[in-house]
Structure 1
Amino acid sequence: MERSMNLEKITLGTCYYPEHWPEGMWEEDLRRMLENGIEVVRVAEFAWSKIEPREGEFTYEFFDRFLEIAERAGMKVIFCTPSATPPAWLTNRYPEVLNARQDGVLYRHGCRRHYNYNSPKYQELVKRIVEKSAAHYAAHPAIIGWQIDNELNCEVNEFYSESDTAAFRVFLQEKYGTLDRLNEAWGTVFWNQTYTEWEEIYVPRPTPSNSTNPHEVLDYIRFISDSTCRFARMQSDILKKYVKPGDFITTNGLFGNLDNHRMTEESLDFITYDSYPNFAYCLDSYEPDDKSMRDRKWSRNLAEARAISPNFGIMEQQSGANGWNSRMEAPTPKPGQMTLWTMQSIAHGADYVSYFRWRTCTMGTEIYWHGILDYSGRDNRRLSELKEIHEKAGRMACVAGSRYQAKVGLVRDYDNLWDSVVDAWHGRVERESGKGLFEACQRKHTPFDFCYLDHMKAEELSKYQVLFYPHATMLTQQMTDKLTAYVEQGGCLVLGCRTGYKDETGKCVMSKLPGLLAPLTGTDIPEYTFVSPADGTVYADWDGTRIEAAVFNDLLAPLTEDAKVEARFSSSYYAGTPALISREQGKGRVYYFGGAFSEHTAEIFLEKLGVAEPYADTVVLPEGCELAVREGEQTYLFVLNYLDECAAVELKKECVDLFTGETVSGSMELKPFEAKVLAVGK
């Protein structure tokens, strides 16, 4: 069943921490929030001690008082389970709940997310706090939903406690049944790693040269994901016993080593994401000559959230400068950027946007992570901008429930993503093509979706005119069948180098490449190579157009008579060898390209396959602006200017500016960081 948020209007919220402020401030804070457009607050994700100050001693008065004030004010509340920060009494008494570094040193109390998912003791205590909290608070009329934990797998997404080793062994026993099957899957005959007892197996440990068995580590990542999903489901199953009809269960963030689709399918009504585009300007990562898309890159993360829940929520939206006392020094958002980033989230499918945070904290690690209000709580520019956003959101209520539109899909699956973390060769091409395809779609104003092949049916792919699956390194017959069905039904599939050379264990296949996809592509790969630094850039000629074949080259040959050579390498020692082969199958066509997709190469593919600038008959805009499209009763065009300068836009059809209600056409100028939402009749 599709997991999606269901709101009648675009709704704004904020993250609030009543435990940080004197109770005398609560009522005034809620009043000011409501006056400026905030209708929902999220609370309690780090407040375990306010409910269980000592083991087995439960007190509910603190949040009872807050919820009473919230109800009286007319403020809705999202309540959280507090498992992200176990209290000091817990970690001191039960150190087995703590996570550990790979060398076994425990992570101690003093930060957050210092626990592990697999400690039986921690599971017992989390079950109890969730049960007690839900039983007491869930019926409260102010509460509209629950958030599980906070940012699962944030901070660290690797777990090396003794509890994890014990759970890893159980995971492997359930998966393989026998050690013989495990040894075969992991190739343990290599370097004499064969296991004869389950107790010989541990989570990955330090080794010389930091080398590990890649097949073991791939299963270890699958184990982390499984552990996280089980931990979320443990809490969700408890909450479902108590939540009122119509109230939702969610969690926030999209982090690594986690099948977010599975977690949502098993435990959530929809996913929420934490969007911080200002990370693009952190001194930790900022480079003066950086020509990346900076804050615009967060559209890629929003597309990930949309792949899970077509309509989703933002639980934490950038509102001020981000920064801890230890890192992440960053500037305050410029005038208009808070609005721009809000509209960026809504453009990609968010119908709920909650700002982090209402007040900037005066204590602790996040004293520089600014919210809407500064330390003094005085009215400021960001508060004024919030009120303007609320007014704009009110004028675009019709957008709620509409769906993002894309004819291009970028195909992914979790096993290949995780393998690209384990395998440096795979990771290098994956990073190049991921960046190149995203930036090409952005600059060519080509809306796209991420399509997770392991969580989609073959018929769901048919709505996409073109699918790019840049590096399907690991292939199964089930994946191959879905891709073949897509092409046969009329789709256009584009594959890149390094396709099909591994099985699901991560071992290299001994068949001719591209393995299971050879019959569909009509392609053979007699030889392949990394692009040598000594050779510089390798190019191919595609009907007179020069394209880069980046990072790694598969030297191709037609395998069947109907396979057509579309392009040949034009440099390096293999100049003249086929670089791009296409083949018709059923009603569709498949292309195999022997390289990774740099931005320019991806742009050429979009143009030649007829999917670049799909809305050019309606709007023409410069590269510095993003175009996103949502479809409902009308077509809604989001035009987002990320530049610190004006941008000229040309409207070729009459549109209604939802912010002003005016009918507009012809030339339009967007101010720096300005966003427009335009309605086009069907």
Structure 2
Amino acid sequence: MAKSIQMEELKLGVCYYPEHWSEELWEDDFRRMREMNITVIRMAEFAWSIFEPEEGQFDFSFFGRALDLAHQYGLGVILGTPTATPPAWLTEKYPEVLNANKDGVLYRHGMRRHNNYSSPIYRQQCEKIVRNMVIAYKDHPAVIGWQIDNELNCHMDVFYAEADHIAFREWLKSRYNTLENLNQAWGTVFWSQTYTEWEQIYLTRNMVNQSPNPHLALDEKRFISANTISFAKLQVDIIRELDPQHWITTNGTFGHIDNHELTDELLDFFSYDSYPQFATIFTGEDEKPLQDRAWSMKLSNVRNMSPNFCVMEQQSGPGGWVDSIGMGTPRPGQIRLWSYQSVLHGTDLLVYFRWRTATFGTEMYWHGINDYHNQPNRRVREVAQVGEEFVKIGRAIAGTTYQADAAILQDYDNMWDGELDEWHGPLHQQSTRAWYKQLQYRHIPTDLVTLRSSTVLEDLSKYKVIIYAHPAIMTDETAELLQTYVSQGGTLLLGARTGYKDLKGHCYMRPFPGAAAELCGVTVEDFTLVKGTVPAAELQWKGKREQLQAGMQTVGFNEVLHVENPEVQVVAEYASEYYAGSPAMTKRAVGQGEVWYYGAAYNEQVVDAIMDEIGLFSPVDDLMEVPSEVELGIRSSNDKAYLFLLNFSDKQAGIKLKKEAKELLSGTTYKNEIKMSPYGVFIFEIDK
């Protein structure tokens, strides 16, 4: 069962770094926080050099004074363990704690996350600082919980220090037991790569054309995840031993970590760092992009780990480092909008980054609520408004959970394998973006669900529709689970390159789509990447909306399908290329449900057509009409439901109510037509 934060009301917090400021500022800062209804602060995650200025010389008095004053002002404190930023004395004395690039060249001191988790010395030093820190602060009345490290695998999610190669070999020995088993799993007979001694094995190194053994590369990511989790466990075990009364979490979803396993095995709930403007940087050539609204998909992923969670860092100003990124100032209303974006998707404790913008260092352009001058500004006023609203609605919303009838399915093996494999990785990104965007624009609340070995039918059966676009790696057990889901009434949508690999990343010697072929009732008789000089094909739609789909084209990959089961219906055919007239999309009734197979990656036009075909509509169509630029979502409990409307547009949005509804933030009961302000927020109480 997923682990959630347990809050009786929505709470507002802020990241605070007392080491950056004169102690003369602390009291005024804490007083003003309370005036803004901020009741939680998070601190200390980068303060190792203050706690231990020299090896073995500990001093916890500085943060002790900060904790005392925070408690005096009724502020609860989340303490971060400082293991993301080892001090200079440590990296200079023990360079073996540093991470390295593929050539073995060490990353030197001066940034953060330059350590490797495998170093025995680094693990010992981390255990020592965490143990002493917990002993120093565990009984302080201001402390409410612990954050392990900070943003595990941020900046760097690959590790090539000597200690990592050694740890990789030990992990492989545990996984495979013998070199014979490993050689079989990695297909090392190919190109004479066979290993005869464990010491011959390394993590990815520089080589001709930079294309590693794909099976080694997949296991490398699995190892990094396991190693990262074991590093976190060292700290969790110490805190559980010494301070069992406080909760433990960590923050951020970064590369090569199974955050679901991390949460299940170690944490009380997962936390996230929400910076919606990151979604505006990487829009590419996307037509009508979701922009900052696309961040809702990131929050949906976190919700799959913890239905109710903490946002440990919520964007509260323009962002950027001295030499990179650079994001503009949020427009009036956007900080509040992004705050409720997080709340809609499950946040019950919202912590802004940061109280005041640093006047020095790498993040002196990563702005917080207050500017350098420490005088009132519109960001302060906007956060204060959120604080007032949390007091008003917080007890009603806390503990309610997001409701969705549709889910986009993913899994770690395919995501990690797809990083290297150009034959399915880009397809996943394309289809996920297209589906999530169109579901958003049609106001169909959607979950992002990670399929795991522990996933059971109950986890899937609550969804009417599941999109599992390109699971190249698929076991027969997964195919059987999906078949049961469909037979009991679900609608499943699959795409090109489904089911042709096993867990080792080997290709099955059976017709595509491999493990899913019988379920879909089709095989693939021909295929091609759509890339370079190979053009996309046009589609001829055979469904209900045939007359509306002229000019529809495929994306990414084309599979020419062959119908194997008489129950299969062809929904679309290719209308160009040498395979014109061949099936491109099919559907098959299985029990009470149906499975669709599309021999390409999904784009927005195809997604819209499918949603029309299967009759996928917004759950509140009978209550209101909402324009596409407004995000719609529902949080509910056993007896209450709350409908969130978030206007991501810089213009007014018109809402047409078909029934009277009470809006919580204003306390007003609305009917007929109403206007939402630019970046406005409504929360309606609705009947379940």
TM range (shorter): over 0.9
Paired residue type of 1:549 = T
Kindly indicate whether the alpha-carbon contact (under 8 Å) linking 1:404 and 1:630 is maintained by their aligned counterparts in 2: yes
Aligned in 2, Cα 1:288/1:541: closer, same or farther, shift over 3 Å?
A: closer
- Compare 562-571 and 551-560 and name the one that shifted more: 562-571
Kindly indicate whether the alpha-carbon contact (under 8 Å) linking 2:46 and 2:85 is maintained by their aligned counterparts in 1: yes
Residue in 1 that maps onto 2:227: 227
- Offset of residue 537 of structure 1: 4.5
Aligned in 2, Cα 1:204/1:601: closer, same or farther, shift over 3 Å?
A: same
Residue in 2 that maps onto 1:483: 482
| Residue 644 (str. 1) matches residue 650 (str. 2) | yes
Distance 2:98 2:362 in 1: 20
Aligned residue-pair number: 679
Residue in 2 that maps onto 1:429: 427
- Offset of residue 519 of structure 1: 1.6
Per the alignment, in what secondary structure is the counterpart of residue 38 of structure 2?
coil
- Offset of residue 492 of structure 1: 1.2
- Offset of residue 309 of structure 1: 0.5
| Structure 1 residues 28-74: Cα deviation after superposition (integer angstroms, max 9, x where no partner) | 11111111111000010000122111111111111111111111111
| Structure 1 residues 522-541: Cα deviation after superposition (integer angstroms, max 9, x where no partner) | 11111111235453443241
- Offset of residue 143 of structure 1: 0.5
Unaligned runs of 5+ in 2: none
Kindly indicate whether the alpha-carbon contact (under 8 Å) linking 2:36 and 2:388 is maintained by their aligned counterparts in 1: no
- Offset of residue 286 of structure 1: 7.4
Kindly indicate whether the alpha-carbon contact (under 8 Å) linking 1:139 and 1:244 is maintained by their aligned counterparts in 2: no
- Offset of residue 400 of structure 1: 0.9
| Residue 556 (str. 1) matches residue 561 (str. 2) | yes
Paired residue type of 2:373 = S
% identical aligned pairs = 46
| Residue 238 (str. 1) matches residue 238 (str. 2) | yes
Paired residue type of 1:404 = Y
Kindly indicate whether the alpha-carbon contact (under 8 Å) linking 2:644 and 2:681 is maintained by their aligned counterparts in 1: yes
- Offset of residue 550 of structure 1: 1.7
Distance 1:424 1:189 in 2: 23
- Compare 464-473 and 581-590 and name the one that shifted more: 581-590
Per the alignment, in what secondary structure is the counterpart of residue 277 of structure 1?
coil
Instruction: Report matched runs for 1:50-449 at 5 Å.
Output: 50-245=50-245, 247-281=246-280, 291-397=288-394, 398-449=396-447
- Compare 489-498 and 578-587 and name the one that shifted more: 578-587
Paired residue type of 1:675 = V
- Offset of residue 191 of structure 1: 1.6
Paired residue type of 1:233 = K
Across the aligned residues of Structure 1 and Structure 2, the Cα RMSD in angstroms comes to 1.5
Q: TM-score, normalised by structure 1?
A: 0.97
- Offset of residue 290 of structure 1: 7.1
1:669 counterpart (654, 670, 675): 675
- Offset of residue 274 of structure 1: 0.4
- Compare 340-349 and 628-637 and name the one that shifted more: 628-637
Residue in 1 that maps onto 2:467: 468
Residue in 1 that maps onto 2:13: 13
- Offset of residue 516 of structure 1: 1.4
Distance 1:287 1:27 in 2: 46
| Structure 1 residues 398-452: Cα deviation after superposition (integer angstroms, max 9, x where no partner) | 0111110100011111101111112112112111101111111111111111121
Distance 2:36 2:675 in 1: 28
Kindly indicate whether the alpha-carbon contact (under 8 Å) linking 1:78 and 1:146 is maintained by their aligned counterparts in 2: yes
Instruction: Report matched runs for 1:503-518 at 5 Å.
Output: 503-518=502-517
Residue in 1 that maps onto 2:614: 609
Aligned in 2, Cα 1:508/1:599: closer, same or farther, shift over 3 Å?
A: same
Kindly indicate whether the alpha-carbon contact (under 8 Å) linking 2:283 and 2:289 is maintained by their aligned counterparts in 1: no
- Offset of residue 561 of structure 1: 2.4
Kindly indicate whether the alpha-carbon contact (under 8 Å) linking 2:493 and 2:597 is maintained by their aligned counterparts in 1: yes
Residue in 2 that maps onto 1:635: 641
Distance 2:392 2:525 in 1: 59
Distance 2:446 2:270 in 1: 19
Kindly indicate whether the alpha-carbon contact (under 8 Å) linking 1:627 and 1:639 is maintained by their aligned counterparts in 2: yes
Distance 1:167 1:55 in 2: 26
- Offset of residue 229 of structure 1: 1.0
Distance 2:556 2:271 in 1: 35
Distance 1:567 1:99 in 2: 51
Per the alignment, in what secondary structure is the counterpart of residue 527 of structure 2?
strand
Distance 2:645 2:542 in 1: 33
| Residue 576 (str. 1) matches residue 581 (str. 2) | yes
Distance 1:488 1:291 in 2: 36
Per the alignment, in what secondary structure is the counterpart of residue 265 of structure 2?
helix
Distance 2:496 2:580 in 1: 17
Kindly indicate whether the alpha-carbon contact (under 8 Å) linking 1:541 and 1:570 is maintained by their aligned counterparts in 2: no
Kindly indicate whether the alpha-carbon contact (under 8 Å) linking 2:52 and 2:59 is maintained by their aligned counterparts in 1: yes
- Offset of residue 289 of structure 1: 9.0
Unaligned runs of 5+ in 1: none
| Structure 1 residues 234-288: Cα deviation after superposition (integer angstroms, max 9, x where no partner) | 111111112353x210000011111010000111111111011123455xx5779
Residue in 2 that maps onto 1:592: 597
| Structure 1 residues 351-389: Cα deviation after superposition (integer angstroms, max 9, x where no partner) | 111000001001100000000000011111111111111
Aligned in 2, Cα 1:534/1:120: closer, same or farther, shift over 3 Å?
A: closer
